Amino acid sequence: MGSFYEECLQKLKKTEGDGWRMITIDGVVGVGKTTLMDIMVNELGYTPFEEPVVNNPILDKFYYDRERYSFPLQVFFLNERFKHIKNASELDRAILDRSIYGDVIFAKMLKDNSEMSEEEFHIYLDLFENMIEHCQPPALMIYLEISTEEAIKRINKRGRSYEMDTENAYWERLNKEYRAYFDAYQASPVLKINVDNLDFENNPEDREYVISLIKKELQTLNL
């Protein structure tokens, strides 16, 4: 019996074909996913699909009352990410700021912390599994790895009140779940980049370094 994440990814791993020609950037909150996506759009010509946090009617409420809003928030994200990935699948050079593949990370953490009921979690999993059967792996998964301490610094610098008011233990648990997920993820090639000491938003040398890693991986994959 594999891990929970391995089992969740089985349906994606069994999909026939070479996968969709899209890139997914993933990592914990504050790691720089949107920033890197914007850089790749500008420098490499990809079409962006940004994580649905803007005009999200539930997100800020969730951070102040997770038990009340965990299930509707996860269903909202799952539905929006499924829309994104369907639209991205029709393009040759799409890039997603997080996507449906790792959505289950948040739901599992909420269930484990008793902030989502077992009944809600199983309903969510049914939805996730139904949707993931219609998805193919990305051409490349970019995982931005970061320490919890550095992620919290960046969250505070970003200044979203509902994130800054969230206890550090939540971010610690989230980072732990992300590491476990990517230890199990084998559905597509993964480029892992530790960004603890990188500022690719403001430092041109760091930006060039990260882009060079991505270009090299894309060349290896003939993308």
Closest CA to 109 of 2, 4, 36: 4
CB 80 within 8 A of CB 131: no
Identified catalytic residue from 38, 65, 97, 183: 97
Report the alpha-carbon distance of residue 27 to residue 29 in Å, rounded: 7
97 has catalytic annotation: yes
Strand segments (E) across 89-222: 94-97, 138-145, 190-194
**Which are the contacts of 115, defined by CB distance < 8 A and separation ≥ 6?**
66, 67, 70
Type of residue at 144: L
Distance CA 195, CA 167 (A): 22
Tell me the CA distances in angstroms from 93 to 51, 166, 221, one per residue in order.
Answer: 17, 36, 14
Residue with tokens 């299930």: 71
Q: Tell me the C-alpha to C-alpha distance, in Å, between residue 186 and each of 84, 125, 141, 179, 190.
A: 22, 20, 10, 13, 8
Rounded-to-10 torsion of CA 111, 77, 125, 155: -40
Catalytic positions, written as ranges: 97
